[in-house]
Amino acid sequence: MFPVIFRVLKAYAPYITLPAAAMVGIIGYNIENWVSDKYTPYQESISKKRSERLLENELNGIDESLKEKKFVAKSVFDKNLSPSLQENK
């Protein structure tokens, strides 16, 4: 009996799995829609944030040149360095 059932399932697998996958997708989509927060806070664009930061730096007299590179580690080993391994700076 099982070989016959398995043969039928094998022959009609696309017709069985597609509706099952669609139902799982629809149910998951609706659960996610009910659970998730629909409010997304407004964020300014990156270009606007950059222009405001540059304007603020210009007004405060802060000139960060790329020659100094304060924001870049000197070597790969300086990134995410444990406090116990850092030199006293």
Digit-coded pLDDT (tens) for 17-49: 999 999 999 999 999 999 988 887 788 899 999
> Could you give the CA distance from residue 83 to residue 89 in angstroms, rounded to a whole number?
11
Which of 15-19, 48-52, 67-71 has the least mean pLDDT? 67-71
Assign 89 to helix, strand or coil.
coil
Tokens representing 61?
Answer: 């007299």
Inter-helix orientation angle 2-11/13-35, to 10°:
70
Task: Say how many domains are in the chain.
Answer: 1
Residue 68, pLDDT score: 66
Q: State the chain's maximal CA–CA distance in angstroms.
A: 85
Domain annotation covers residue 5: yes
Q: Average pLDDT, whole number, for the chain?
A: 83
Kindly tell me if the per-residue pLDDT of 66 is higher than 60. no
- pTM for the whole structure: 0.41
- The whole domain housing 18 covers 1-30
Residue 88, pLDDT score: 62
Domain annotation covers residue 7: yes
CA distances 33 to 2, 19, 25, 42, 58, Å, are 40, 21, 12, 20, 45
At 61, is the pLDDT very low, low, confident or very high (cuts 50, 70, 90)?
confident
Domain annotation covers residue 82: no
